[in-house]
Structure 1
Amino acid sequence: MKRPNHWPNRWLAVILAGWCLAACASLPTVDPDKTKIQATSAPAVKSANGTLSESRANALLAKRWSKNTLDLKAQAALEETATGVPLIAGNQVKLLFDGPVTMAEMMKAIAGAKNNINFETYIFDEDELGDKFADLLIEKQKAGVTVNIIYDSVGTLMVPQAFFDRMKAAGIHMVAFNPVNPAKVRDNGWKVNNRDHRKMLIVDGKIGFTGGINISGNYSKSSPFRSKSKPKNKKDVGWRDTHVRIEGPAVQAMQWLFIRHWTTQDADDLREADYFPTPVIAGDKLMRVLGSEPGGRYEIYKAMLLAIQEAKKSIHITCAYFVPDDQTVDALIDAAKRGVDVRLVLPSVSDSGLVFNAGRAVYDKLLENGVKIHELKLAVLHAKTVVIDGVWSTVGSANMDRRSFQHNSEVNVIILGAPFGTEMENAFREDLRNSNEVTLQAWRNRPALTRMKEWASKWWDYWL
């Protein structure tokens, strides 16, 4: 069964949220000056051999950055103070584009699993791709590999329970995150508005994947500008998304996020497996793994906002669902006014009209103040990436909206350094080439009906 549109789920979440309305929480104020006062001189850096000494951490971050580029040592200290999460050294990170490439890499890793597979996803559809993925997981479970899966109960609302029961019958340990059905509520209460939007695959505690890609037939095709053929009609349009493949000590941080989430669901204990093998140095990437959840420390939000506030040269954002809060809008405008090249690649078509129009409600203010906006052609944009000054990059599941920062559990990785930043910039430039720029004059001449949709959608931005 192929679900034609994922985002009746978003509408349902909005309606259900209305049933349990509480006082609207607000995002924290992020003040870089106050954070600098609290920040330590040297951020903590963990490696395969434990936490590095202050001198070794300083040496790792000792590169002299130009005045026109983010100072990564200072930025690392700010982020650690704001999030409480250390940097992790010695990793290999591979940038993956769109569904076919990512699915091939994930299935290859699963096929090679020897001991355990932990998988967490928002959407897991029963379609050709979902069945193929499920069959492979079942095959590994039957071969003696321990397989554990967390799937979101809203993201999979339209999927027949028989699809998950088939995996459970094969011995796979399954948990539906925050059940929609009140009768299935666990001891942690009915929290239907709090969703698990993370996408993580962890194989043998050694290989990790994360980003924006769900398990769905929508990802069976690449975006047109990355495939060899152009779509003949709208049904053939691919999805543009980004994922990363990680090896090294950072995978253990992902593993801890998975296990902690498992325990919050009052699930049975995880079966014994070698979830934390001795970490090894796999590469030279220095990174931070941030997992956020409702009622938490807003780790991803704080890290993104601090990087935007400290940017010296460029802020390049690709975002599927862009409904920024006032503080983010102000930070982007302030950056543009101090001469930073602020560019956004946003959707021209979306699988969520409500979110699409709510995000467009801030176009006028951004464009008027020097922020450049581009809308991607010929593909459904689902990526969530940021690269700042070509040296600070993040890839993950979090969009720039209140739902991601306040109501969802999300995971993003931050990768420091120019080598990975250059890959991110190259990808961003390719997206720009396949986008149309939105000018202020043209935007102000948009139809009245479009304006009405934006105004109406904006009322719901807290719950979207």
Structure 2
Amino acid sequence: MNGAPLGKVSVEHIATDLPPDAAQARELDYGWQPGNRIELLENGEEYFPKVFEALRQARQEILLETFILFEDKVGVELQDILIEAAQRGVKVLVSLDGFGCGELSPGFLGQLAAAGVTVQMFDPASKTLGIRTNWFRRLHRKIVVVDATVAFIGGINFSADHLEDFGPEAKQDYAVQIIGPAVADLHHFALAQSGRQARTRRGWRRRGHRLGLWATAEGDGLVRLIYRDNLQHRSDIEDAYLQALSKAQQRIVIANAYFFPGYRLLREIRNAARRGVHVQLILQGQPDVMMAKLAARMLYDYLLKDGVVIHEYCQRPLHGKVALVDDEWSTVGSSNLDPLSLALNLEANVLIRDRKFNQQLFQRLETLSRNHCKTMPENRTPRGWLWRVTVGFLVFHVLRHFPAWIGGLPAHKPRLKPFVQPAKSEEP
């Protein structure tokens, strides 16, 4: 498929949200990679300086995909950095979601394209009667790979609402920086999803080692990239959670912004608490989407009666998507535990086996739960109990089947499309 030129760079192929065939899909099954250094980054205060410095140091290539990019102070700084990188000869490929980035102006995107940045939009759509129609199957991943030597992945978008000075609506969120062999997988995945990957993963890795692209961190961390798409990898992230929860022996901590998982996940969480595992959930208490909080509360009775401890974070909106099990397993990424993330959106997480990282994440979450959360009582006010249970049952089962209903509706297949700068109108 041929695309229109974007500044100095022409798009030769634009990928769909899925690998083009089963053989390539198998190439995108990533295994555990040892020897990585993983750094936890909390909120924009830690994340943006690390990412921006890596981008400024780029010499060959920048791959960036995000759900949200706003034209605020963070977005403008990112734009400046990407333009400067492209002008010094770095290949810059930016993939944006058509819903999350639907308000970006043609001028903002045009400046990137004019500088030589390749800009791609996933499922762009104009508004109908002032309403966006591209609600589902979003590109929800947040991945940055620089020179195939350092990678970032997590839940943080490029917007000022991830900074504390944004005010009461500033988001609480997490990401990681990775240096080491796992960067090769993130690099391969980002290229493959953008339509730029023609080589097999094995061949690409051999070439990368020959050129000295992959960083050798010699750290202690095992890292595995997992993701969900709408064909071969529909349940990979959910399955990874299920496997880890079923093996938990001591503790489980899940901090998730939009918590409304299916019955299998709920059952594993409940069963872990029943067998004596200390299970803590950190959920939204000050929501940015009220429906998310109401939906999560429909599940509280089911979980609390079996010993699950539920904290609601009340300082500001929780946007994190992290979890840990026992003293070694952790996950950080873009996937919420709700129907959109688990059954519709394009998501990516990393699984991490690293005791030091696990302990650091646990300490951050423990500080959060102790100092800024309220704990839900096990025996809540009985008034309206029957009504709450009935409504909860109905809402749960409606939302549980919601992705299947949406997936069955006739719809176009979302694709990445090149940004084409509008032609200037000629003066009369």
TM-score by length of 1: 0.72
Which structure is higher in RCO with an 8 Å CA cutoff and minimum separation 6? 2
- Which segments of structure 1 move beyond 4 Å, counting only runs of 4 or more? 443-458
Q: 1:126 aligns with which of 40, 48, 71?
A: 71
Letter in 1 for 2:265: T
Aligned sequence identity (%): 29
Q: Letter of the aligned partner of 1:97 in structure 2?
A: E
Q: 1:169/1:92 Cα in 2 relative to 1: closer, same or farther (>3 Å)?
A: same
1:285 to 212, 221, 229: 221
CA contact (8 A) 1:317 1:343 kept: yes
Q: Is the 8 A contact 1:404 1:410 kept in 2?
A: yes
SS state at 1:96 partner = strand
Counterpart selection for 1:150 from 82, 89, 95: 95
Please report how far the alpha carbon of residue 90 of structure 1 lies from its aligned counterpart in structure 2 after TM superposition: 1.4
Task: Tell me which amino acid in the other structure corresponds to 1:205.
Answer: A
Once the two structures are TM-superposed, the CA of residue 444 in structure 1 deviates from its matched residue by: 4.5
CA distance in 1 between partners of 2:179 and 2:62 (Å): 15
The one-letter code of the counterpart of 2:77 is K
Q: Would the aligned equivalents of 1:357 and 1:454 in 2 still touch at CA under 8 Å?
A: no
Change (3 A) 1:129 1:441: same
Other-structure match for 1:254? 186
Paired residue total: 358
SS of 1:239 mapped into structure 2:
coil
Q: Which amino acid aligns with 2:335?
A: A
Residue 441 of structure 1 pairs with residue 386 of structure 2: no
Distance 1:442 1:161, change over 3 A: farther
Asked whether the 8 Å contact 2:283–2:318 carries over to 1, the reply is yes
Match of 2:141 in 1: 198
Q: Amino acid of the residue matched to residue 339 of structure 1?
A: G
Q: Are 1:295 and 1:406, in contact at CA under 8 Å, matched by a contact in 2?
A: no
Amino acid at match of 1:136: I
Which residue in the other structure is 2:367 paired with?
A: 430
Match of 1:59 in 2: none
The alpha-carbon distance between structure 1 residues 199 and 304, as it changes in their structure 2 partners (threshold 3 A), is same
Q: Counterpart in 2 of 1:217? A: 160
* 1:373 shift after superposition: 0.3
1:173 matched to which residue of 2?
A: 118
Cα distance in 1, alignment partners of residues 286 and 386 from structure 2: 19
Aligned equivalents of 1:118 and 1:107: distance in 2? 13
Alignment of 1:157-168 (within 5 A): 157-168=102-113
| Mapped partners of 1:349, 1:169: distance in 2 | 41
Quick one: which of 103, 108, 117 aligns to 2:53?
108
**Aligned partner of residue 158 in structure 2, secondary structure:** coil
TM-align CA RMSD: 2.9
Q: Does 1:294 align with 2:239?
A: no
Per-residue CA deviations over 1:366-398 (Å, capped at 9, x if unaligned) read 111211100012111001111100210111111
The answer (yes or no) to whether the contact 1:95–1:244 under 8 Å persists in 2 is yes
Which deviates further from its counterpart, 447-456 or 297-306?
447-456
Moved more, 96-105 or 285-294: 285-294
Question: Are the aligned partners of 2:298 and 2:388 in contact in 1 as well (CA < 8 Å)?
Answer: no
In the TM superposition, residue 260 of structure 1 has moved relative to its aligned partner by 1.5
Tell me the distance in 1 between the aligned counterparts of 2:384 and 2:174.
31
- Give the match for residue 177 of structure 2: 245
- Provide closer, same or farther for how the CA distance between residues 237 and 457 of structure 1 changes in structure 2, counting only shifts above 3 A: same
User: Could you tell me whether the CA contact under 8 Å between 2:82 and 2:92 is conserved in 1?
Assistant: yes
- 1:253-284 per-residue CA deviation (whole Å, 9 max, x = no partner) reads 0111111111299xxxxxxxxx9453242022
How big is each residue's C-alpha offset from its partner over 1:183-229, in whole Å with a ceiling of 9 and x where there is no partner?
9xxxxxx986211110001000101000000011101227xxxxxxx
Question: Partner of 1:94 in structure 2?
Answer: 39
CA distance 1:351–1:192, shift in 2 (3 Å): closer
> Distance between the aligned counterparts of 2:88 and 2:301, measured in 1?
57
CA displacement 1:107-137 (0-9 Å, x = unmatched): 1111111111000000011112111111111
Note the alpha carbon deviations across 1:408-434, whole angstroms, 9 max, x for none. 111111111311111111112111112
* Structure 1: distance between partners of 2:299 and 2:250: 23
